[in-house]
Amino acid sequence: MRDLFAVVMLGGIYSLLSASLFLDLDAVDVAFTEASVGAGISTLLLLASLKLVSRYERRTRYKPALALGVIVVTGALLIYGTLDMPHFGSADAPAHQHVAPRYLEDSMEEVGVPNVVTSVLASYRGYDTLGETLVIFTAGIGVLSLLLVSQVTKDESIKKVPADMQQQIILRVVAKMMLPLILLFALYVQFHGDYGPGGGFQAGVIFAAGVILYTMLFGLSNAQRVFKREILELLTAFGVLIYAGVGVVCMLLGGNFLDYNVLRHDPVHGQHLGILLVELGVGITVAAVMITIFFKFTWRTVKHKYIKE
Amino acid sequence: MELVIDIISWLFLIVGSFFCLTGGLGLLRFPDFFSRIHAASLTDTLGASLILIGLMFQAGWGLVMAKLLLILLFSLLAGTTASHAMAKAALKSGLKPLEFKKGVYKELSGETSSKP
């Protein structure tokens, strides 16, 4: 398929379908993440990047037969590898023998958070989540360094280029009604993650989606009056700093890295505080990175358009 | 009393499912983009909201009902706006609605695209 727009749309549909698959498997948190990150923001960012490049893929001059062969062989090997694994849902799989029962049975006493997924993600597996946050941070840095466009221009009029959808009155009115709800929902997902499905990743992405909606309808300059570029770039690092900082504070208080028990006198309270802070850090980084990437893309488009005219 | 509520709720659910089904059928069978989008928007306004109302009767007063109400409001706003945006985008990029004349579908003649 050479129409990249259709490819992006199919990717989004695929994500949404797999989200419903996860929901069917009772993995609500994963489904939520897949729906908001996979179907939502990545489709949006891909569409934004499609605006920078052309819509149709160029014809390749080489024959990709060798690449296809490598992929088929690798895929076959991977499938062969799964044959050794325990059957799906089998009770004597290693994961169901010692790790999962411990999390399910002791999490309420040790961590005291009703949503076990959050306690696994932010407390038991705190290192992994720190790594994931760092990956997102690195992605943001990567985009920033690839699109090395400085926004400092002498010409002030370029800042007043209206948004593409400036004229769409219906969209603007509806967006104005929905925007507070979207941002409020993001905060709800952020701080309710201990009790229900949700957490920093989803909340950050939903918040960013709200800001992106605003940017598309009301223009980059309006959005950047609220979300200053410098502050956003600072916030991408600040979230990671909060996360790692909590770990360091734990060490200073005499525990291990990211061992929240020592944060308060009561271990369970310490866990609550630690998880709250860590999720906040994740949310800040994710939202700031997504908004920064979108702003960079939009800035490129605005600049190209302006130069052309 | 419970029986009455159940009957009302199931009435809403069945009518809602009917609209979802016809919406899906129309999406597959209608001849051009604009009539298809009409069918699709039927699914997420009438179909979804009737089903949500039916579920509200099942839930009774409480937090679940409030959440369902919010979902209903949100989907009404978002669904209709999305359909409008898609139809407008198609019209703007030059797609013309079909016209049924003497047993054949033909592209509608005349200027249809709105000025930007």
User: For position B116, what pLDDT does the model report?
Assistant: 44
Q: Checking phi first, is residue A231 left (phi over 0); if not, alpha (psi -120 to 50) or beta?
A: alpha
Residue B81 Cα, gap to closest chain A Cα (Å): 7
pLDDT digits 0-9 by tens, A34-70:
999 989 899 998 988 888 888 888 877 777 888 899 9
Question: Which of B74, B85, B116 is opposite residue A171, by nearest beta carbon?
Answer: B85
**Residue segments in chain A with a per-residue pLDDT below the cut of 70:** 148-165, 307-309
Query: Which of B19, B61, B69, B64 has its CA nearest to residue B42?
Result: B19
Spell out which residues of chain B touch residue A162, defining contact as CB-CB under 8 Å: none
CA diameter of chain B:
58
- Secondary structure of A166-195 in HEC code, one letter for each residue: CCCHHHHHHHHHHHHHHHHHHHHHHHCCCC
User: For position A113, what pLDDT does the model report?
Assistant: 82
User: For position A73, what pLDDT does the model report?
Assistant: 96
Exposed / middle / buried, residue A121 (Cβ in 10 Å: 0-12, 13-18, 19+): buried
Asked if A174 lies within 8 A of B81 by C-beta distance, the reply is: yes
Spell out which residues of chain B touch residue A181, defining contact as CB-CB under 8 Å: 74
User: For position A138, what pLDDT does the model report?
Assistant: 93
Residue B115 Cα, gap to closest chain A Cα (Å): 11
User: For position B50, what pLDDT does the model report?
Assistant: 93
Residue ranges covered by each domain of chain A: 1-60, 125-309
**pTM confidence score:** 0.85
What is the residue-wise DSSP string for A49-105?
A: HHHHS-SBPPPPSS-THHHHHHHHHHHHHHHHHHTTSPPTT-TTSHIIIIIHHHHHH
Please, which residues bridge with residue A160 across strands? Answer: none
More confident residue, A61 or B42: B42
User: For position A149, what pLDDT does the model report?
Assistant: 62
Residue type (1 letter), A230: E
- Distance between CA atoms of A232 and A285, rounded to whole angstroms? 9
Is residue B84 within 8 angstroms of chain A, CB to CB? yes
Query: Which of A186, A243, A214 has its CA nearest to residue A32?
Result: A186
Whether pLDDT at B109 is above 80: no
User: For position A155, what pLDDT does the model report?
Assistant: 57
Query: Which of A126, A223, A216, A225 has its CA nearest to residue A174?
Result: A216
User: For position B20, what pLDDT does the model report?
Assistant: 92
Count of alpha carbons within 13 angstroms of residue B51, beta-carbon side:
16
Question: Which of A167, A168, A177 is opposite residue B77, by nearest beta carbon?
Answer: A177
Taking CB atoms and an 8 Å cut-off, how many pairs form between chains A and B?
Answer: 17
Is residue B92 within 8 angstroms of chain A, CB to CB? no
**Cα–Cα separations (whole angstroms), residue B48 to A221, A222, B41, B80:** 37, 35, 10, 12
- Distance between CA atoms of B95 and B104, rounded to whole angstroms? 18
User: For position A72, what pLDDT does the model report?
Assistant: 96
